[in-house]
Structures are given as structure tokens and as C-alpha cells.
Amino acid sequence: MSETVDILNFEFSTRGIRDIGIVEPSLSYLELKYKLKVKRECISDNFCQLIKKYNPRLIVTSNGIGTVNHHEMVKYASMKGIKVITFISEGDMVDIKENVEILFWGNNKDQIFYEYANLQWSEKNIQLILKHIPEAKNFNLFCAGGTGFDRYQFLPLKTKNDFYSQYPQYKKYKKIIGLAGFPFYFFLSDLYKKDGQWNNMHLDHDACDTMAAQKEPLRLMYHELVKNNPDTLFILKYHPSDIMQELSEFYQLNQFENTLSIFREENIDDVINISDLWVGFESTTCLEAWLLGKTTFIANPDNVPFIRSIISSGSPHYGNFETLNSAISNFFETNNSVDFDNLKAERENAIAQVIGFGDGLNHKRAGDFIFESLDKTGKKIIVDSAFLTGIEKKYANIEFRKKLRSIIYKTPLIWLPKVRNEFLKDQQKANEFIAEKRESFANLYQQSLIEFYKKNNILLD
């Protein structure tokens, strides 16, 4: 039995706030402003069945190309005559053809624009897409701004006191420095490099080689920093995708008692907020720190140049332990950094170039665009009946096997290696997206946005 909803949202995980943070402010805005009916579901479930169940007027997702499931969902829904609007998770493109193509097409190996519209972080991104993907002149691209960054304007965040209550063993440290992790394993493992050649990387290959070579000097630089500042707590915030800690710049730093390793246990927003100073090698989180009023430094051994995000232009760079340590000491002595202050114009330009607007209203721009799209006619998509039948069969089969394994779990057959391994994968996926947590995110956003709108005189009626 189906029920019609206005918007159906599919996301992959509730373990972090990144993707949900991109779509949820707009979804909550649509519910509050336009009284739309929204359903929030998991992309790893049988989306064919869910689409039939809810019969949505429109589908929204934070990333239409992030996984095969996302791409197949977008393609399937579009062929079923349902408009799909996609955001983008990794939205800071650079002027490299490979970078633009991978961030735009991702798992869409067809390289066919199936969705009704795609919402980009910045006009810069749109121009880069048009430059490197000429056929994009026929795509419906809209600059909504970086909606995921709006949350810094309205979501409640952990304070230092909250942190000390949660981690009482660190109360003795009055100074806290957050170190933003970089995914060096991309460059140092064999995941993307075969026989000395880079594969499926969206960065300049010379830059890849340069960054790979920077890991060990950076690790040693951080080692000296931690060792020589025993009165300061260093939060080692690993990159959320890091799966090989032994290849990280933080490797062996946990031997010092004035360090705390954070993987995905805490939201990046909270980690930045409780830090007095934010330091990284190359990270979008520096921009996030600016939105929270934090000072940021770049640690780059010997100041070796490579193609960087424009975000790096907004922070002073330090090429060795001595200069970085001196800048940090001066910051805590004066509660200020002249080097950082002198880059204010660069930060303003970076914010405009990367997320479009820093006013916290990107989600409103996106929400209004989505609302206006509801009654517009979608483009014609060539229907591939074989694809539709195959996808429905594929996900029905996946769901059947999952249910079967849940029954087998109660029998000795679960100890068959192949059965048990697949069952454990089922459990892992089930823990990745928890419906109750998804709803709690929605409630948190709605309550926070109501207060934000009141404070900024934004009318909902």
C-alpha cells in the first residue's frame, strides 16, 4: 500500500553529520516553511520498493554519485518519471579535468545527467564543470551554496566544559589544539597506485607524489610539537575516511599523554569548537573553523609547493617545527595571530569561492529552489526497461538474502564462513544507518532552525 509524500530523501549513514548536514537544513526548512511531507530513508535499503511505497513528487539526496546505490537510485527514479535533485558532498573543485570529472560523475559511469537538477557549492564549481565537461551546458546546475556549512550558524555545539565533563582525564589541560588529519593513505598505500602509476585520482599526479613525500616530515614536525608542549592537549582528529592509521601523520603520537585520538566518535563541528587553535596540512576543516571564529595554521614541511585548495590561502603557512611552535606560543600569549589577521581578505575570497555564501542561508536558497521545482516538468529520459527490471530484481534479491541470513543466524549454518561474513556485513550496514538517529537529526535541525529564524527575523508564514 503506497502513500504519497512530497519529498523522499535517501542518505547512506547516520554515523556522521556530513551528508545529513548537507540536506537536512533544506529538508527541515521545507517542512517548516512550506509544510511539505518529507520521508527520510537509507540508500542501502531496497530503494525501488521505497519509491513505490511513498510515490514521492521529488527525491532529494546529498550525493547522487557517491556510491553505486546512489547512482542506480537516481537513474531508476528518473526513468520512473520522478524528478531527482542532487547536492554534492565534496564540493571544492580545483581546475583539473580529472578532479572535476570524478567529483561530478563519480560512480555514474554512464556519464549521463539523469537528475532533474544538481546543486553546487559555488559559481566557481559551475564554471569548472562547464569548462571540463562541455555537455554540461545542457544540465540544470544551480548555485545554492555550501548548505552543509550553514549548521555552524545555528546548531548547538559542545563547549570546553562539555568536553571536560566527557573526558575528565584531560581537565588539567587549559590549552587545546586540534590537528586536522589528512588522508595520506590515499597516496601511500596501493589503493590508487599500481606499478608506479596513479589510478582514479582526482588530483594532479605530481601533487600526489609531493603530498605522499610530505607525510613523514609532517609526522616528525607534529612529534616535536607535541613533545615540546606538554601543557597543551593535542586532539588528533583523523580524517573520517582514514582506514590505515599506520600511514597517518599521527602515527605513534598517541604515546604522549597530552594527545587524544578522535576518529568518528565526535562530530568535527564539536572538535573544532572546543579547540583554541586549529592546525592542518590541507583540509576543508580550516574553512569550517573560520565559520566558528577560530584561528587556523597550515603545517607544511619546508613549505613545499603543490596544487592546493584555495582554502589554504586563508591560513599562514609554517615550514618547520620552530616557526610553527613560535607562532603557537605567540598565539596563546597574546590570544591573537597577526599572521592570521593579515589574511582576512583571502579568507573572505575563499569562502565565496568554495561555499558561495557564509551567511547561513545556503539551505534556504536550496530549499526555495527545490520547492519551485516540485511542479515543474522534468526532462525526458530514455527509459531502459531492461535496466528497470534488472535493478528491481537486484535489490529484491539483496533484501531476500539479507532476510534469509537473519533467519539462518539462529541456526548452526551461520558458522559457515561465507554465510557468517555476509551476515556481519549486514550488521555493519545496519549500524551505519539508524532510523531513530536520523529522526533525531531532523528534530535537532528543526528546533535549531526555528530559533535561528527568530533571531534573524526570517518569517516562515
pLDDT along the chain (461 residues), means of 10: 86 88 97 97 95 97 94 97 94 86 93 97 94 96 95 93 95 96 74 61 69 87 96 91 75 93 86 97 92 96 84 96 97 96 96 89 97 92 95 94 84 80 80 92 96 93 77
Closest-CA residue to 59 (of 26, 40, 84): 84
Encode 411-434: b = buried (16+ Cβ within 10 Å), e = exposed: eeeeeeeebeeebeebeeeeeebe
Cα(23)–Cα(250) distance, integer angstroms: 32
Same fold? 7-150+360-386+433-455, 158-355: yes
To which H or E segment does residue 38 belong?
Answer: strand 38-42
- Residue 192's pLDDT is 61
What is residue 280's three-state secondary structure?
strand
- What CATH superfamily classification does 158-355 receive? Glycogen Phosphorylase B; (3.40.50.2000)
Cα(248)–Cα(252) distance, integer angstroms: 9
To which H or E segment does residue 7 belong?
Answer: strand 7-11
Cα(104)–Cα(120) distance, integer angstroms: 10
Cα(396)–Cα(47) distance, integer angstroms: 10
Q: Around Cβ 117, how many Cβ atoms within 10 Å?
A: 21
What is the 8-class DSSP label of residue 250?
T
To which H or E segment does residue 302 belong?
Answer: none
Q: How many helices (H) and strands (E) does the chain have?
A: 17, 14
Phi-psi region of 335 (alpha: psi -120 to 50; beta: other; left: phi over 0): left
- Residue 74's pLDDT is 97
- Residue 203's pLDDT is 63
CATH 3.40.50 fits 7-150+360-386+433-455, yes or no: yes
7 φ, ψ (degrees, to nearest 5): -135, 135
Residue by residue, DSSP assigns 86-142 as: E--SS----S-HHHHHHHHHTT-TT----SSEEEES-HHHHHHHHHH-GGGGGS-EE
β-pairing verdict for 295-299 and 259-262: unpaired
- Residue 184's pLDDT is 77
Cα(308)–Cα(27) distance, integer angstroms: 33
**C-alpha cell of 382?**
530514455
Cα(43)–Cα(49) distance, integer angstroms: 11
Query: What value does the CA radius of gyration of the chain take, rounded to a whole number of Å?
Result: 23
Q: Which residues contact 112 (CB under 8 A, 6 or more apart)?
A: none
**C-alpha cell of 136?**
554540461
Whether pTM > 0.75 for this model: the answer is yes
Q: Around Cβ 1, how many Cβ atoms within 10 Å?
A: 3
To which H or E segment does residue 74 belong?
Answer: helix 68-79
Domain ranges of the chain: 7-150+360-386+433-455, 158-355
Cα(37)–Cα(243) distance, integer angstroms: 38
Q: Around Cβ 128, how many Cβ atoms within 10 Å?
A: 22
Taking the CA atoms of residue 31, residue 36, residue 41 and residue 46 in that order, the dihedral angle to the nearest 10 degrees is -170
The H-assigned helical ranges of 264-381 are 268-274, 285-291, 321-334, 338-341, 344-355, 362-373
